[in-house]
Amino acid sequence: MNQPNSNANPNAPLTKTMDNIVALCRRKGFVFQSSEIYGGINGFWDYGPLGVELKRNLKEAWWHDIVRCPGRGPDGKIIDMVGVDCTIIMNPKVWVASGHAAGFADPMVDCRACKSRFRADHLLDLLKESKWVESLVLAVSENQASNVNFDVAWVNRWAVNKGKKLAPNLYIVKNPVMNLPAYSPDSGQQGLPMNWLLHLVAGSHAAGKPILPCPDCGGELTEPRQFNLMFQTYVGAVQSEDSMAYLRPETAQGIFANFKNVTDTSRVKVPFGIAQTGKAFRNEVTPRNFTFRSREFEQMEIEFFIRPDTAKEWYAYWRDARFNWWKSIGLAGENLQLREHDKDELAHYAKEGAGTSDIEYRFPFTAPGFGELEGVAHRTDFDLRQHAEHSGLGDKLKYFDQELQVKMQGQGVAKEEIAAKSKYFPHVIEPSAGADRGTLALLCEAFTPDPSRPSGVVMKFKPRLAPIKAGIYPLVNKDGMPEVAEKLYMELRGRYAVEYDEKQAIGKRYARMDESGTPFCFTIDGDTLKDQTVTVRHRDTLQQERIGLDKVGAFLAEKIGG
């Protein structure tokens, strides 16, 4: 993640780049590499003291708003929602039924020269971030400034110098006399289209096959091939085909597998939802962009079961409700967008015509762009039907809709028709979100460069999400102030994540809280002892006001919302 301006000059104002966000996460204890003391492990991340609070706040906000206090649905009724907590390792038949064992694969390409493996649909992004492409584009665009019809000589010069070191297996590096056609951009188009340039230097334009070069070494890539992303393990002492199991690649299937248990044991009636948060594992081929694409991550999923003829309303409801939820926790503005899928993006379970959309956040990655935070999909009755068939339960997995039965009886519908129609496989609307991507989006959104702050940055989390809600500080470590501050801290810490600290100058303590994203500091000073008031310091405005010592709890409750 090399980006210009990232700490290159320690005196330059800090900019909002991924490098600077990653550095702050490391420095302040939000996110560490997993097993860092051993050099880490690619695609795995740990949360430190601040990060774990942030991620918990996100998951708790989700659970609170979705499971405990869902709003009213499109039918005007209060939404019915319950939770489950299922195991990571399930009977492997689950993954045969769900289609993951056969189809949970991404098309992969391998480099014939350096043997690196990449996801075919990520290639262009990876190339944009690649060192050799960066260097080539720089060489071409520098020399192209006055004349858009760049000369083959510039590319060849790059090939025999920098190209040799950075992309030794690139076609044009091995064949520097290749004949490049001149290029004139269409009117209004800026610079060279990346695709065109890459095909050209890879020699694939000459060979007539549009294959992109390897992002690592420039070598020739294979045609895309399938690769299963599920991690395998063995259950019990014997490692054999029979004891093989998978780490779940999504939490959703635990919900489907428990559908009957939940409807048999609780009072939920269609339409209703089952929610779950928990770990999921995917052996991603190219984990990258910090925690965005990890191999172990956490999901927050809802399977919402509905009558098939209400799918359109419920799909639109969840798509909009989920988009507004992300807004409500602070991801507002231009960085958040809702994107309906094109037809060719539909997942294996989605029928044509069934809605699918992504809620996306614009992360400041090297190749900036919107990345998926949550997918909202109409999964039809695919999963329940599959489990009915593979488990052998058949129609027993159908839902009996007593309300519909009574309604049809009232309408004088024939008995046979009532019997046939009141038992069915509900359709499902699935809002499936990532807790790690959500946390990363909150970190990126909060990161606010501000040259007036000592560290050059303030983390502007919404109070509800902030890892530490308040710092409680005696102005100086004497004159009875620490005792009052400590008492206030002890009163508040049962309800809120608050910090007590009596060391260092007050300015330094405030500066630390700016970087941690703490919205308020309460300072106990000489006046507190006289008039029982404290100073409240506001992180975002830097304003200070005085409130009664006995009003601090109510102040926090109001600002945090509960």
Residues in contact with ligand ATP by CB under 6 A are 250, 282, 284, 293-294, 297, 299, 372-375, 432-434, 436-437
- Using the minimum distance from each CB to ligand ATP, give the nearer residue, 277 or 432: 432
Neighbours of 321 (CB within 10 A): 18
Q: Are 256 and 397 in contact (CB under 8 A)?
A: no
**Phi and psi of 179, rounded to 5°?**
-90, 105
Cβ proximity to ligand ATP: between 282 and 362 the closer is: 282
Identity of the residue, 84 or 511, whose beta carbon is nearer to ligand ATP in the bound complex: 84
**At closest approach, how far in Å is the CB of 178 from ligand ATP?**
36
User: Rounded CA gap, 285 and 291, in Å?
Assistant: 14
Q: Any idea how long the chain is?
A: 562
DSSP, res 83: E
Q: Which residues contact 540 (CB under 8 A, 6 or more apart)?
A: 458, 460, 519
**CB neighbours of 420 closer than 8 A, spacing ≥ 6?**
none
Q: Cβ-closest residue to ligand ATP?
A: 434
CB of 297 to ligand ATP, least distance (A): 4
Return the number of the residue (220 or 374) whose C-beta is nearest ligand ATP. Answer: 374
Sign of CA dihedral 303, 291, 341, 72: positive
- Shortest distance, position 7 Cβ to ligand ATP, whole Å: 26
Q: Which is nearer to ligand ATP, 125 or 250 (CB)?
A: 250
Phi and psi angles of residue 372, each rounded to the nearest 5 degrees, phi first: -70, 130
- In angstroms, give the least distance from the CB of 45 to ligand ATP: 10
Nearer to ligand ATP, 250 or 525 (CB): 250
- Rounded Cα distance between 301 and 295, Å, is 18
Closest CA to 78 of 266, 255, 312, 271: 271
CB 299, min distance to ligand ATP, A: 5
Nearest-approach distance from CB 116 to ligand ATP, in angstroms: 18
Q: Which is nearer to ligand ATP, 372 or 502 (CB)?
A: 372
DSSP 26-43: HHHTSEEETTGGGT--TT
Q: How far is the CB of 437 from ligand ATP (least distance, A)?
A: 4
Do the strands 356-363 and 336-340 form a parallel or antiparallel pair, or are they unpaired?
Answer: antiparallel
- Closer Cβ to ligand ATP, 282 or 469, answer by number: 282
Smallest separation, CB 426 to ligand ATP (Å): 20
Cα-based distances in Å from 306 to 74, 97, 376, 401: 12, 21, 15, 11
C-beta of 441: minimal distance to ligand ATP in Å? Answer: 9
Pairing of strands 356-363, 369-380: antiparallel
CB nearer to ligand ATP: pick between 278 and 434: 434
Residue 483, phi then psi, degrees to nearest 5: -65, -45
**Least Å distance between CB 436 and ligand ATP?**
5
Nearer to ligand ATP, 220 or 250 (CB): 250
* Minimum CB distance to ligand ATP smaller for 374 or for 383: 374
Based on C-alpha coordinates, what's the Rg of the chain?
28
Closest approach, Cβ 239 to ligand ATP, in A, equals: 27
The contacts of residue 527 (CB under 8 Å, 6+ apart) are 533, 546
Distance CA 214, CA 220 (A): 6
Q: Taking the mean position of all CA atoms in its chain, how far away is CA 178?
A: 43
Shortest Å distance, C-beta 295 to ligand ATP? 7
Q: Quick check: helix, strand or coil at residue 535?
A: strand
DSSP annotation of 306 reads E
Q: Which helix (H) or strand (E) holds 150?
A: none
- In sign, the C-alpha dihedral spanning 323, 325, 326, 332 is positive
Closer by beta carbon to ligand ATP, 445 or else 501: 445
CA distance 496 to 308: 44
